[in-house]
Chains A and B, each alone.
Chain A
């Protein structure tokens, strides 16, 4: 099932299928290794439920919810 990253639950894992962002946000996301085929797991959210922290290739990355909207994930 493919869903936007924002809708993923804490500790849910999946594989990135598409990154719809372009321009600066797209570059920044891809530079950090969020490209199609990469496996990710949601690690948690900040105290105010935003941004989201995710585990990717063994490190932790943060994104705002409205940025996670651009990333489509095939969830396990």
Chain B
């Protein structure tokens, strides 16, 4: 038996995700809607012998063609025809939430209203007669408390009944006033007669969308039947002119007024009774009077960001150490038990070091995501957008840009890929373009390992402070570049900031864990596939073709020479058992031999493909303090920023004196020649600003609508990063650092 599809829909903050989690548990699949990058979550709920496939539609307030989320939601409903839509309605916010419900009903889909957070409504003295509401709306209404899973069984039973008995929706014809009603009737007849779009949409709905000037339906209509579309548009123009002349309003305003009028009349027919003043202050408002206070608000905001750092760094320390230990042990085992040669080199230097370097940071990223999920789910993130809008506007951005910046790593640890996608919530193409071109400057989870490595090596005593400064610098850089872009390549007006401040809620533990798990898994998956592949390719680049025979022979000759010079010591080393203490003479000889081996390894690397590229770039990069090893790592970082770490790891363990000693990379860097704190700062600055990883570049190109923006972000960012790094290094050197 095939799955029965149910769609979950509703306003943002209505508890939709919580209900989705309650219904599907861990059986979820996260993907994208076809052709677009809006996230699509699916899960399975089994009820008796029926499997329900539950699809979580994007949260919206309306069903216009105004945002991509709304278009995706209504396209899904008309194209996939789910057996029913479970419309999650916030019981404490009935009036506004029913606005969307009406639009589902007008679209002719079977609706089940889940009256969620009924407990919160009751606490606020709001009582709702679900039976009357159900009778007046002519749809089933089920009271739920998604956080506790209450009502979900009943919801599924109602769905089962609708599916099992094949109950069709009764449809809903709201009166929009005489003028519009007449025009709609006239248009509906013409649409039915010509079958305009009626294979997917109800005729009256198409007429209504023409009246609302809906871009998507207008263009579909014009494609299907240009002549009919023109005559429908003529009717709309006639009505628009009339309404404009008599009421000084547009039809869409009249339509919205009547929808709200319809909702009010329903609620007044014994559905809703409110005990106290609805606008009285609740706990949430009292919290807001402190958290968004003119003086305390910004300070608390800084403290929250700071606290997130402390939380992340302190609690992830132990698991990070475990993972580093584990991969060190694994490398040691491979080193001891595998025969010398290319395979051993591949496994130790390519695979174990590469994967270990990336997975070692998983705990850090997990704690970071947990913190961010808490801020998002609690409602605090919206306050951040509210408080920062005035600031963002100065830079030609939008208060909601903050979300894209934060997802990308504005609070360190995000990822520019979902960040670039998060810019879809921005309605103005210009603010959106400026945001998506600057979000890659944020400290994504992949740059964190690079920063963490350098900070641990050179600024270990001030770890949290330095990471905090790095965040501030990336913000400043991103905002200034945004301003630069908005006054040059993406000039233009700014767009609306109409946003809900949801009540503060304590996030559910389950919701936080699912959210954290999804994002961390995304990172691990990327690490496990792209990074491993890149790590192996880089190993090959760094191993082949190796030093030429003449150079190799020179090393052999040198070895011969030192061995022949002290034959007794050579004999002793030859016969010595593992771990035995050598005589002074033998130790000196061993030291000399090790020195030669290190030089040989380094020569091999220098003569490899990667070494040649790195060396060639050195003439330019030495202005920023980077040697060929760093250059190789940075080139690798084009693929994904975390590759910088694994490449440095590979580069240094291949060229190291004693590969058996499991020294961690940061200790290695701290003592490596050519490295000092200023070099680390210069590299941090370069890593922060240079070309985004290719996955981000692909997303930027797709989201911005052209490869020219992808190319722009690669070239512009790299030039900017290099200029900044050179300034930092040269000025720092002049000042004596």
- A interacts with B: yes
Q: Which residues of B contact A60 (CB under 8 A)?
A: 285, 288, 500-501, 503
Tell me if A48 and B391 are in contact (CB < 8 A).
yes
Q: Which residues of B contact A41 (CB under 8 A)?
A: 279
Tell me if B390 and A50 are in contact (CB < 8 A).
yes
Tell me if B252 and A27 are in contact (CB < 8 A).
yes
Asked if A8 CB lies within 8 Å of chain B CBs, one says: no
Chain A proximity of B535: nearest CB distance (Å) = 47
Chain A proximity of B298: nearest CB distance (Å) = 6
Task: Report the Cα distance A46→B289, complex, angstroms.
Answer: 11
Task: Report the Cα distance A39→B260, complex, angstroms.
Answer: 13
- The answer, among A46, A57, A59, for a CB contact under 8 Å with B386, is A46
Q: Which residues of A contact B285 (CB under 8 A)?
A: 43, 60
Chain A proximity of B95: nearest CB distance (Å) = 5
- State how many residues of chain A have any CB contact under 8 Å with chain B: 38
- How many chain B residues sit at the interface, stated as a range, is 35 or more
Asked if A9 CB lies within 8 Å of chain B CBs, one says: no
Tell me if A27 and B497 are in contact (CB < 8 A).
no
**CB < 8 Å A-B pair total:** 130
Chain B proximity of A43: nearest CB distance (Å) = 7
Chain B proximity of A35: nearest CB distance (Å) = 5
Asked if B62 CB lies within 8 Å of chain A CBs, one says: yes
Asked if B66 CB lies within 8 Å of chain A CBs, one says: yes
Tell me if A53 and B386 are in contact (CB < 8 A).
yes
Asked if B427 CB lies within 8 Å of chain A CBs, one says: yes
Tell me if A28 and B292 are in contact (CB < 8 A).
no
Q: Taking A38-B260, A57-B96 as contacts, is the C-beta distance between A22 and B500 under 8 angstroms?
A: no
Q: Which residues of A contact B96 (CB under 8 A)?
A: 32-33, 57, 59
Tell me if A62 and B496 are in contact (CB < 8 A).
no
Tell me if B95 and A47 are in contact (CB < 8 A).
no
Q: Taking A24-B427, A47-B292 as contacts, is the C-beta distance between A53 and B501 under 8 angstroms?
A: yes
A interface footprint on B289-305 (CB within 8 Å = 1, 0 otherwise): 10011110110000000
Asked if B256 CB lies within 8 Å of chain A CBs, one says: yes
Q: Which residues of B contact A2 (CB under 8 A)?
A: none
Considering the complex, give the chain B residue whose CB is closest to the CB of A64.
Answer: B497
Tell me if A26 and B250 are in contact (CB < 8 A).
yes
A interface footprint on B379-414 (CB within 8 Å = 1, 0 otherwise): 000000011011101000001000000000000000
Task: Report the Cα distance A64→B294, complex, angstroms.
Answer: 16
- The answer, among B252, B293, B294, B386, for a CB contact under 8 Å with A62, is B386
- The answer, among A26, A27, A37, A61, for a CB contact under 8 Å with B501, is A61
Asked if A19 CB lies within 8 Å of chain B CBs, one says: yes
- The answer, among B278, B279, B498, for a CB contact under 8 Å with A28, is B498
Tell me if A67 and B498 are in contact (CB < 8 A).
yes
Task: Report the Cα distance A41→B280, complex, angstroms.
Answer: 10
Chain A proximity of B398: nearest CB distance (Å) = 10
Asked if B499 CB lies within 8 Å of chain A CBs, one says: yes
Task: Report the Cα distance A43→B282, complex, angstroms.
Answer: 12
Considering the complex, give the chain A residue whose CB is closest to the CB of B394.
Answer: A48
Tell me if A27 and B66 are in contact (CB < 8 A).
yes
Q: Taking A44-B289, A47-B294 as contacts, is the C-beta distance between A30 and B500 under 8 angstroms?
A: no
Considering the complex, which residues of chain A in the window 17-76 have a beta carbon less than 8 Å from any beta carbon of chain B? 19, 22, 24-33, 35-39, 41, 43-44, 46-51, 53, 55, 57-64, 67
Tell me if B66 and A62 are in contact (CB < 8 A).
no
- The answer, among B261, B399, B500, for a CB contact under 8 Å with A59, is B500
Considering the complex, give the chain A residue whose CB is closest to the CB of B293.
Answer: A47
Task: Report the Cα distance A44→B252, complex, angstroms.
Answer: 30
Q: Taking A27-B62, A64-B496, A67-B497 as contacts, is the C-beta distance between A33 and B260 under 8 angstroms?
A: yes
Task: Report the Cα distance A43→B298, complex, angstroms.
Answer: 18
Q: Which residues of B contact A31 (CB under 8 A)?
A: 61-62, 64, 99, 256
29 interchain pairs, CB-CB under 8 A:
A19-B253, A22-B252, A22-B253, A24-B427, A24-B495, A24-B496, A27-B62, A27-B256, A30-B256, A31-B62, A33-B96, A38-B260, A39-B279, A41-B279, A46-B292, A48-B387, A48-B391, A51-B386, A51-B399, A58-B92, A58-B93, A58-B95, A61-B501, A62-B386, A62-B389, A62-B498, A64-B497, A67-B496, A67-B497
- Interface pairs A-B: 7 shortest CB-CB: A48-B390, A30-B256, A31-B62, A60-B501, A28-B498, A25-B496, A33-B96
- Beyond A24-B427, A51-B389, list 8 extra A-B contacts (CB 8 Å): A28-B498, A32-B500, A35-B253, A38-B260, A51-B390, A60-B500, A61-B501, A67-B498
Instruction: Tell me the B residues contacting A by CB distance below 8 Å.
Output: 61-62, 64, 66, 92-93, 95-96, 99, 124, 126, 250, 252-253, 256-257, 260-261, 278-279, 285, 288-289, 292-295, 297-298, 386-387, 389-391, 393, 399, 427, 495-503
